[in-house]
């Protein structure tokens, strides 16, 4: 069984043909769309001759439409339209921009375009600029600029630049220049002058220096205590000899 059928169009059918054309269409399309709507019939020589006059008129109309589309395609070069929409603070629209919205905006600007001629290749749902194709025919494709703007002033970003440190001041977070609470001496960091050994101390070396200093102090205290104990023993021995 054939999957297609030959019919005579009695009306213009987009993407199929014009009145008076004999076309091959799928059985389902013929049975469910063309025949129930009286857009086509079984072809015959009598019917074809009867529709010859209407077919000539349809061809003239198509040629006129073609001329209008070529002219409109030229006018659309460099066209930019602006759409104002409601959105949240991040610039996300509450509703996407549709083909109908763009066609209506173009009509207001004096360019009558069918919504089906507007080709949106991406979802337009944020405050931004978009390139949109307007395809009037297979060989007539123009790109227009669509500016989507908010209906209010959006809040500025909370990100603020940190102020630059004053000349000669310690870098933020380094803890430089702070006095050591235990010893009352400043910590050594990379921004400070070299220490007594002419060695520049890198970041974080202050803790190592403090630990070394604490160790030296403890050793010095231990030496003093030991020396004091020796001195006491000598004094005790000396007193015994006198006795």
CATH fold, domain 76-150, is: Ribosomal Protein L9; domain 2 (3.10.430)
DSSP annotation of 33: I
Q: Where in the chain is the domain with CATH 3.10.430.100?
A: 76-150
User: What pLDDT digit, counting tens, does each position of 138-191 carry?
Assistant: 899 999 999 999 999 999 865 444 455 555 555 544 444 444 444 455 554 444
Q: Are 77 and 141 in contact (CB under 8 A)?
A: no
**Per-residue model confidence as pLDDT tens for the chain (243 residues):** 678 999 999 999 988 999 999 999 999 999 999 999 999 999 999 999 999 999 999 999 999 999 999 999 999 999 999 999 999 999 999 999 999 999 999 999 999 999 999 999 899 999 999 999 999 998 999 999 999 999 999 998 654 444 555 555 555 444 444 444 444 555 544 444 444 444 444 444 455 555 555 666 666 666 666 666 666 666 666 555 554
CATH second-level architecture of 4-73?
Answer: 3-Layer(aba) Sandwich (3.40)
Q: What is the CA radius of gyration of the chain?
A: 45
Distances (CA, A) of 153 to 80, 85, 129, 210: 22, 12, 17, 55
Q: State the Cα–Cα distance between residues 44 and 22, nearest whole angstrom.
A: 10
Distances (CA, A) of 103 to 75, 81, 120, 122, 144: 15, 10, 11, 16, 11
Distances (CA, A) of 72 to 61, 91, 112, 137: 16, 33, 8, 11
Q: State the Cα–Cα distance between residues 196 and 176, nearest whole angstrom.
A: 18
């Amino acid at each position: 069984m054939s999957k297609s059928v030959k019919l005579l169009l009695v009306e213009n059918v987009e993407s199929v043909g014009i009145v008076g054309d004999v076309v091959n269409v799928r059985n389902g399309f013929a049975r469910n769309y063309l025949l129930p709507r009286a857009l086509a019939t079984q072809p015959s020589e009598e019917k074809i001759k009867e529709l010859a006059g209407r077919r000539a008129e349809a061809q003239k109309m198509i040629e006129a439409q073609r001329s209008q589309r070529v002219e409109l395609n030229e006018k659309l070069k460099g066209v930019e339209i602006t759409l104002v929409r409601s959105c949240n603070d991040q610039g996300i629209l509450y509703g996407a921009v549709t083909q109908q919205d763009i066609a209506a905006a173009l009509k207001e600007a004096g360019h009558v375009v069918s919504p089906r001629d507007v080709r949106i290749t991406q979802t337009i749902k944020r405050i931004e600029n978009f390139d949109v194709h307007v395809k009037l025919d297979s060989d007539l494709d123009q790109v227009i600029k669509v500016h989507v703007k908010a209906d209010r002033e959006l809040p500025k970003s909370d990100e603020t630049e940190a102020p630059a440190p004053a000349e000669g001041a310690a870098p933020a977070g380094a803890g430089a220049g702070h006095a050591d609470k235990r010893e009352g001496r400043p910590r050594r960091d990379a921004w400070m002058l070299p220490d007594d050994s002419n060695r520049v101390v890198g970041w974080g070396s202050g803790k190592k220096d403090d630990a070394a200093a604490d160790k030296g102090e403890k050793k010095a205290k231990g030496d003093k205590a030991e020396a004091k104990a020796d001195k006491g023993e000598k004094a005790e021995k000396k007193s015994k000899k006198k006795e």
